[in-house]
Amino acid sequence: MMFDMDQLDLARSYKLLSSSIVPRPIAWVVSQDANGVANAAPYSLFNFFGGHPPVVCIGMGRPNGRDKDSLSNIRTTQEFVINMVTASLAQAMNTTSVAFPSGVNELDKAELETVTCSKISGRRIKLSPLALECRLQQIIDVKPSSVIVMATVQAIHIDDEYVKDAQRCYVDSARFDVIGRMESPGWYAKTVDRFVMPQPTLEEWESLRHDQPGLE
């Protein structure tokens, strides 16, 4: 079946894409408004797009042409934290996705403690084993319904127990038990079921070339 994207309205187009491009990592964004009131919300239109400078992007919808609270805060303070979501934090993350009125601190609703950041003035979620302190670089308007927030990572906090070799920057990602977002309504994937397959060089691939069965 072929879906002609030109024929689809926003809701259908979004549903098709968000069910097709899976799993997606979840940026659990903590930001502050001008009065210092904290805000938390998950965003799965997220990834990193370069290592040096360390660039991350997040797609944020603008329902009815209005900024979500995270976007409004990022415009104001120019900074935010991306916390990674482990399976044990899934319910709390889901609570922070509720459309509470502006000014409500979702971190309180989800009973989440925060700690101060090192290079920005925001706060990060204490229980998240990995957090990225981010500074806004630019906001790209994707008219008429969303924006892409591009930011540079200023610092990464990783719980000591997951750092295998700090000098070489080896992280034991397997043990985070991070979750990814799948299709709607509300499906997620865990990352504990894994396999290893190093990317071969051309020489390795040519010397090993044989049947290429898929995974069982």
Q: Is 60 an interacting residue with respect to ligand FMN (CB under 6 A)? A: yes
Instruction: List, in order, residues 6 or more apart from 58 with CB less than 8 Å away.
Output: 27, 29, 43, 45, 46, 82, 148, 149, 151
Q: Is 45 an interacting residue with respect to ligand FMN (CB under 6 A)? A: yes
Q: Is 70 an interacting residue with respect to ligand FMN (CB under 6 A)? A: yes
Q: Which of residues 147-166 bind ligand FMN (CB under 6 A)?
A: none
Q: Minimal CA–CA distance to 32: which of 154, 159, 133?
A: 133
Q: Is 128 an interacting residue with respect to ligand FMN (CB under 6 A)? A: no
Q: Is 173 helix (H, G, I), strand (E, B) or coil?
A: helix
State the Cα–Cα distance between residues 80 and 69, nearest whole angstrom. Answer: 12
Find the binder of ligand FMN among 25, 43, 82, 120 (CB under 6 A). Answer: 43
Q: Is 74 an interacting residue with respect to ligand FMN (CB under 6 A)? A: no
Find the binder of ligand FMN among 30, 68, 122, 158 (CB under 6 A). Answer: 68
Q: Where are the alpha helices (DSSP H) in the chain?
A: 10-20, 69-77, 90-95, 106-109, 202-208
Structure tokens at 179: 């979750």
Find the binder of ligand FMN among 25, 30, 38, 42 (CB under 6 A). Answer: 42
Find the binder of ligand FMN among 5, 21, 99, 140 (CB under 6 A). Answer: 99
Q: Is 59 an interacting residue with respect to ligand FMN (CB under 6 A)? A: yes
Q: What share of the chain is helix, strand, coil (3-state, %, to 5)?
A: 25, 35, 40
Q: Is 122 an interacting residue with respect to ligand FMN (CB under 6 A)? A: no
**Chain contacts with ligand FMN (rule: CB under 6 A):** 26, 39, 41-45, 59-61, 68-70, 94, 97, 99, 181
